């Protein structure tokens, strides 16, 4: 699926843009499912079933991000297992790939972004194979809060961590002493995808447009590695999306539940 040049670019910069990853039927399917989720079609704490007189826009405008939506939505679980994701990751990280997390961002107008961070701080792996697959459902632009990245920082260790007072961001802490002069925006068309390494520094700013910035983000890693996460030596609530699981003898668990990201806009 990937060219030699694309593989080299990912190795050098820590991220790769595939601008025509999803077709428009797939984009419409995810948009429709995002609306169903925000209207309360599934049991997710904090999301109540919408009234008949509430518009789709009113329902969408309430939420920043839903974690683990694939746990209740068969449609979004299908996109965790998307064959193009499996094919690309089998070339980027390993023939054997597992997924441990999904996130559905709605990010309505005026909602905040997130300060610079490395996903590896939240999901620690043993082999630096953590990889995010960020699929743009709406066009992601500077105006509506696209990602910003600092190329090459995927080769760095974890940065120190601390609070911030930037009103562009939610309340989550920010990486400290980062090479901010090297940051670049990553604008992606609807249906495009961004693959990025778990050590890559990235952030997003407030949505300053009238357009939503809906995104489906899944996190993957090599199935060869154990996942020391959520208090377990090897987190076994995973989905194998490519190849086989060398640790299948450990079995699988149903641990994570869908939940809303806390929205903190008081900074």
CATH of the domain at 179: 2.60.120.620
Question: Residue 265 domain-assigned?
Answer: no
Tell me 181's DSSP state: G
Rounded Cα distance between 230 and 33, Å, is 28
Residue 23: which domain range?
4-46+55-260
Using one digit for the tens of pLDDT, what is the confidence trace for 86-145? Answer: 999 999 999 999 999 999 999 999 999 999 999 999 999 989 999 999 999 999 999 999
Q: How many domains does the chain have?
A: 1
Question: Residue 267 domain-assigned?
Answer: no
Question: Residue 124 domain-assigned?
Answer: yes
Using one digit for the tens of pLDDT, what is the confidence trace for 142-188? Answer: 999 999 999 999 999 999 999 998 989 998 899 999 999 999 999 99
Residue 176 near residue 161, CB atoms below 8 Å: yes
Question: Residue 134 domain-assigned?
Answer: yes
Q: Could you tell me the pTM of the whole model?
A: 0.96
Question: Residue 141 domain-assigned?
Answer: yes
Question: Residue 220 domain-assigned?
Answer: yes
Question: Residue 21 domain-assigned?
Answer: yes
pLDDT of residue 264: 58
Residue 262 near residue 64, CB atoms below 8 Å: no
Using one digit for the tens of pLDDT, what is the confidence trace for 230-242? Answer: 999 999 999 999 9
Residue 125 near residue 227, CB atoms below 8 Å: yes
Alpha helices in the chain (DSSP H): 4-13, 24-38, 56-60, 74-80, 83-92, 119-122
Question: Residue 225 domain-assigned?
Answer: yes
């Amino acid at each position: 699926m990937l060219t030699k040049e694309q593989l080299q670019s990912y190795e050098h910069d820590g991220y790769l843009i595939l601008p025509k990853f999803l077709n428009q039927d797939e984009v419409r399917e995810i948009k429709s499912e995002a609306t169903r989720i925000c209207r309360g079609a599934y049991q997710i704490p904090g999301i109540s079933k919408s009234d008949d007189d509430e518009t789709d826009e009113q329902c969408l405008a309430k939420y920043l991000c839903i974690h683990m939506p694939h746990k209740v939505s068969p449609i979004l679980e299908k996109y965790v297992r998307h064959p193009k994701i499996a094919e690309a990751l089998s070339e980027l990280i390993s023939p054997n790939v597992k997924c441990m997390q999904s996130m559905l961002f709605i990010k309505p107008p005026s909602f905040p972004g997130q300060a610079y961070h490395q996903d590896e701080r939240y999901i620690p792996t043993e082999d630096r194979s953590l990889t995010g697959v960020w699929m743009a459902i709406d066009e992601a632009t500077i105006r509506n809060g696209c990602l910003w990245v600092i190329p090459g920082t995927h080769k760095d260790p974890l940065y120190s961590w601390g609070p911030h007072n930037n009103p562009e961001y939610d309340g989550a802490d920010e990486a400290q002493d980062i090479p901010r002069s090297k940051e670049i925006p990553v604008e992606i068309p609807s249906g495009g995808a961004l693959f990025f390494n778990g050590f890559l520094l990235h952030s997003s700013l407030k949505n300053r447009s009238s357009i939503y910035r809906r995104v489906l983000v899944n996190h993957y890693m090599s199935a060869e590695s154990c996942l020391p996460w959520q208090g377990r030596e090897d987190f076994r609530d995973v989905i194998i999306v490519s190849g086989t699981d060398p640790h299948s003898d450990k079995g699988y668990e149903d641990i994570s539940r869908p939940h809303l990201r806390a929205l903190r806009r008081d900074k």
